[in-house]
Structure 1
Amino acid sequence: MGCDTPPAPEAAPAPTWAGAAPSVRPTPSGAGAQADCPEGGVRLSEGDGDAAMGLRVADIQLVNCGTQPYVLEGYPEIRLLDKKRAPVEVAVVHGSEEITSAPTGVEGAPQRVELRPGQAATLAMVWRNLVTDSTVPAAEGWVLDVTPQPGAPRLQLELRHSVDLGNTGKLGISPWKAAAR
């Protein structure tokens, strides 16, 4: 008997996401985000949020991780999903007018944004965490389901911080904007 080296362990299987359709690929957020580029050539990440007196503002970033320019114009299609990936009942509105009169960064007219590989665009979201009827369950979204532009593959982003709507039922979004460089 000598000092034999044990065999190397087998490679771990590739990650899988239960419940995701082939055209919907969850985009993890945070430090452990995957390095490859999803179908469609763009990736989502969650920015920092701000919460004050029940008013919430959050930023989502879309990065062109592909090899071709990527054009955005207007507003994305957004759905919120709960922890079990079931749809959350919410009205997605353009701008913040139906949520607050305070400036939030969600305001602004849609513009054409062309992203070269490596460039990013941002989307701001605003909502109120407010419960006005104790008989209506509070809604909470943990997954953002986004179609960046008509005809583009959907992306899912698992959020670090929930979209805690209370029972207001409204989420305001900005149009796509070029990220500050």
Structure 2
Amino acid sequence: MICTGGRTAAAVVAALVMAGLVSGCEEGGAEAAPATPTPTTTPTPTTTPAQGTCPASGAVATLGEVDAAMGHRAVVLELSNCGDKPYQVNGYPGIGALDDDRDPLKLTITHGNAYTDSSRDQGPKPLTVVPGGSVQSVLHWTNRVTSAEAVTPGAHLVVTPKEGEQAQTLPFLLDIGTSGELDVTAWARGPRS
């Protein structure tokens, strides 16, 4: 079967990562090589501020719609400066997942997955997000099941915008499959402001 007119997750990921300047972001500093895969545990979650409120940090995380094709999934994580001062990020967001009971899922977080197109992951670099501006990260995973082992889906995504900051918990269906591997790109400028 030949499908036309549809966008694959790879095309969306490539477009988002290669996109130009987002209003409100400035960059500086040197690029670093992507980190190696690291098994992680989910940080202790906190609740996300109510819609329309701004956390004390001045930055709020939101998720776009999941783009799915051939067992691959990709979603854009956007971090917006809702405060009144510039907000600094550098590197990768901290990511975890919780099940329906808010128990942590065991995930392996990677950087530079070939499907996410590691050559386009801009790597860690200092970014300044002015009030009203935003930066983005792309999350990629597969829902491939390779064993009879029961797979517990995620019901919430836990996002720590930068080290030492309070985590934000977002409702999110994460159908991770048996690999438990989630690829995350560094914060970068994206096509949206």
TM, length-normalised to structure 2: 0.70
Pick from 121, 133, 142 the counterpart of residue 128 of structure 1. Answer: 142
The equivalences for 1:1-181 within 5 A come to: 24-27=46-49, 34-97=51-114, 100=115, 103=117, 107-134=121-148, 136-159=149-172, 162-180=173-191, 181=193
More strand by share: 1
Structure 1 residues 82 and 163, CA, compared in 2 at 3 Å: closer, same or farther? same
SS of the residue 2:64 aligns to: strand
Aligned equivalents of 1:140, 1:178: Cα separation in 2: 30
SS of the residue 1:144 aligns to: strand
8 Å contact kept, 1:57–1:127: yes
4+ residue segments displaced more than 3 Å: 102-106
Shift in Å, 1:155: 1.0
8 Å contact kept, 1:96–1:107: no
Partner amino acid, structure 2, of 1:169: G
Structure 2 gaps, min length 5: 1-43
More helix by share: 2
Question: 1:35-64 CA deviation, whole Å, 9 max, x = no partner?
Answer: 110121111111122111101111111111
Partner amino acid, structure 2, of 1:163: L
Correspondence for 2:7 = none
Aligned identity (percent) is 32
Structure 1 gaps, min length 5: 1-20, 28-32
**Quick check: which has more Rg, 1 or 2?**
1
Aligned equivalents of 2:119, 2:79: Cα separation in 1: 17
Shift in Å, 1:105: 8.8
8 Å contact kept, 2:135–2:190: yes
Question: 1:95-136 CA deviation, whole Å, 9 max, x = no partner?
Answer: 214xx4x638973322221100110111100011101001x2
